[in-house]
Structure 1
Amino acid sequence: MSAGLPITGWPAHDSAISSLLFGPDETSIFSLGTDGKIFEWSLQNQGQVLWSRDCSRFCDPETAMHCRHEMALDANGKRLLTTSGLVRAPIYQVRGHTNGLKTLPHTDVVTTVDWHPTLPIFLTGSADNSVRVTSML
């Protein structure tokens, strides 16, 4: 890494990539495309998809031009939160099948998200100029 040379890489999406995250144990990475597709990629077997979700229903083409689509992973690597072209943002269970969780509503699109570094608490920011701090306890 000190030489600044690439270690590896692979074609990951059919659209531009808007957000990347290392997985919690650093053996995987998450990528989010502008088309709303999320992939968890293995770093041990480059190009192998470990988990994926399609969150395109939360990507509003009208707001996509004004907002960067982002994601945040909780400290345990079990929940993934994404921004949204709607007033609520989805929370996905990583490597699970639960898709029913959504954030509390704002009055405009969700433009930024983050998780607390150690607790099950997340933040959402909106184009309505508000911030919500929410606990999952």
Structure 2
Amino acid sequence: MIRSFWLLPALLALPLAASAVEVRQFDSADKQQRYEHLISQLRCLVCQNQSLADSDADLAKDLRDEVYGIIQSGQSEEQAIKFLTERYGDFVLYRPPLKPITVLLWAGPLLILLAGALLLWQQARRRRTVAALHLTEEERQRLDRLKKNLEG
């Protein structure tokens, strides 16, 4: 009785496991290696944070089929990349080439970092100025004496 309780969920999960496996036949080991390398270097357009090899999205499956067809027809990895970038843009690449349209992809993180540093610097400067404005004359004199003592 207990054994049959676990058997039913296992049998229900079996089609899910079987559907996740794609079986592909290649003419040579070289083509298979090129295919696997290529799908690991291309981005899934739906998931965006996964490669074509890692994604279970329908579009990723379609793109893997395209790559498989290109590799099986004897074309090179460069030709496959060219086909996919012409069709989907440079976003399909994990490392898009540096050109005027993609410069923001490369410079964006640095610009955001610099803008954040500038904002922090301005906030710190503003707080210092505001804090200094609220001191009484006696507090300012005491602060000056403390500064002199620290300096030497």
TM-score strictly above 0.5: no
Task: Tell which structure's C-alpha radius of gyration is larger.
Answer: 2
**TM, length-normalised to structure 1:** 0.26
**Greater share of residues in strand:** 1
**TM, length-normalised to structure 2:** 0.24
